A and B are shown apart, each in its own frame.
Chain A
């Protein structure tokens, strides 16, 4: 890469090198593709959020007054499909992963840049199909498309959604494939597996699931499509087919899909906690190994979603025990993170607020997961709000906190601008408070027996439901704020230095925003968590001076 040194102009970076629409839509630069994804997933997130708002408004009163029963079914289905397939699954891998994997590897780009761009187009086509279904009337099967409801009884928009999910699935397969090959073949000399940043380990584990799990859901949804259009009767009980087999195959992917959402968040949190504790991450190899461990174990637990759908009691017992195994590598991570903070010089910048919020929320989400793995408890609370609260604690409290934390952390690198710290801290606190106010009451509601997916409920549940809706409005404000100040910061934010946090990773050794070729000179691989390293000293001192100068004016 030495050839670029002579022609390098520090004023030109990957963002301002060419502003034409064509240069964005046909870009092969992984950093620009990350932006394409960021814009699309934000759109789908807002859309999914509107549906969440409708759900909470409907549940404000016991009677079904805002939405019809059928309308309510469509709303929660769209909320689930948009949030899971179009927001959560691509969020961290496709946005932060695309931006960071080559940077952390010390490479110019991912292994297959054209494939990377194609993945975004495939994802967009899938998203458009799902939105078409939404506009033309929506689907009421729930995001799980259970047969025979989806294959026999639902309206034909279900075909659009199924096709959309099928197509979007190939986008995540190809992205996963791309990252696996990149991490295997594109690492700079000296970046051994034992030195790989933990974010890359998280992405690696996620990509494994993407490649080995996603095709199964694709073929399963394809079979539902074949059942509707061609009349093949694979899951049709009238022919001796078994709808439970659909659930087996569906959850073979869709349970590991939860780890597709959470494993990259684990990677982000590992980076954040180490950087803001100014301390080597504790138990590096345990965190790395537990990521891969979760990816593997995640594949042998799926049938805990089927405990009440007529599967054999014997198999249910086996899956119940296997599910509890997942708690082991997850607990290893939690313990290592808290130990990393112990006796560290913890700095409470916005990303760290998200990281600490993540620890608390994910702990609740994870522990209630162990409760649900217990066969007896699951049969009691299956399909109640307890389950809804549990998976929101994991997906929203876990994955979205990780995503937002990571976005705040790497935003200066992505844009070359700083966001206003005071606003971002307020929004982090609002999200934490709003989230708990929304979903903690749902644990109680579920335990009291309120079933999920109904538009009306008995009156004794109303107080807690009002609580939940009030919390949702706080959460909504919390999510809107970043949208506003991030957009503002692109235009008017303060210029970001190379390393605003005093962090150690390879991506902080290059200009913000990076040049198109990423590395101006051959990257020198250092230990990504060596916070005693001399190259940091000056930068950390500079940050401390800036902060000392800023204190009197804010006090």
Chain B
């Protein structure tokens, strides 16, 4: 029991190994519930997409693929810096860990800034669901799919469902990025005191898992929201 004097091992655990196993298991179960949390939104997407596939494709072609693509790259890079950060924590390399955490925070902020410009453009073009929602099908597509006036009205209305799903999914994802930034900043304090080593690095490792999960969600959001209508003009 002498190890209990060490503050990094909580009193109700027998060993570091038990504590590490518990922390990692708890985090994975938390991610399982996160997956189901996002899963509800993905189900909405799946159902509405399957009911209105053309409407979704046309509405999707309005999204900015360049910004979406850059954001994908930004998040993937932040995942890399985070993975390297976890390794630095394991090896007790204090300065490296701080550097990688700062890089991750910076990239996450970058993601949110780009997201802000995307959202701002939506407000400008009135493609935000609500009273002022307006959506116009591009003329070449009206011709291509031979949309009658009735279908056109229906489509311009149904686009709102697409944008509702878009804002719900990216909004929830953005909220997770924001929370991630908060946790990363909080981790900087113990990291700067050199608290992490091979025995005790669960907070960094678990935040890493969380961050990779946020990246994973975006890996699916990018093709599902941005890319599905890309070939509609072809």
Contacts and interface: CB of A to CB of B under 8 A. Distances in A.
A184 B25 contact: yes
Please classify how large the interface on chain B is, using the bins under 10, 10 to 19, 20 to 34, 35 or more. 35 or more
A241 B87 CA distance: 46
A239 B43 CA distance: 17
Contact of A239 (B29, B41, B160): B160
Nearest to A207: B29
A257 B39 CA distance: 18
A213 interface: yes
A1 B4 CA distance: 11
Contacts of B21: 184-185
Interface in A62-80: none
A109 B33 contact: no
State the 4 A-B residue pairs at the shortest beta-carbon distance, nearest first: A231-B130, A219-B40, A215-B37, A232-B164
A234 B158 contact: no
B29 A233 contact: no
B11 interface: yes
Contacts of B165: 234
Interface in B166-216: 167-168, 172
Contacts of A363: none
A60 B26 CA distance: 51
Interface stretch (A130-138, A173-181, A279-287, A505-513): A173-181
A107 B167 contact: no
Nearest to B164: A232
Contact of B1 (A2, A181, A184, A230): A2
Interface of B: 1, 4, 10-12, 18, 21-22, 25-26, 29-30, 32-34, 36-41, 43-44, 47-48, 51-52, 55, 129-131, 154, 157-158, 160-161, 164-165, 167-168, 172
Interface string A108-139: 11011101000000000000000000000000
A218 B168 CA distance: 14
A184 B36 CA distance: 22
A233 B38 contact: no
Please classify how large the interface on chain A is, using the bins under 10, 10 to 19, 20 to 34, 35 or more. 35 or more
A111 B11 contact: no
Contact of A215 (B33, B55, B158): B33
Contact of A240 (B33, B43, B129, B157): B157
B40 A234 contact: no
A232 B40 contact: no
Interface in A84-115: 107-109, 111-113, 115
A249 interface: yes
A232 B133 CA distance: 11
Interface string A200-238: 000000000001111110111001001000111110001
Interface in A29-75: none
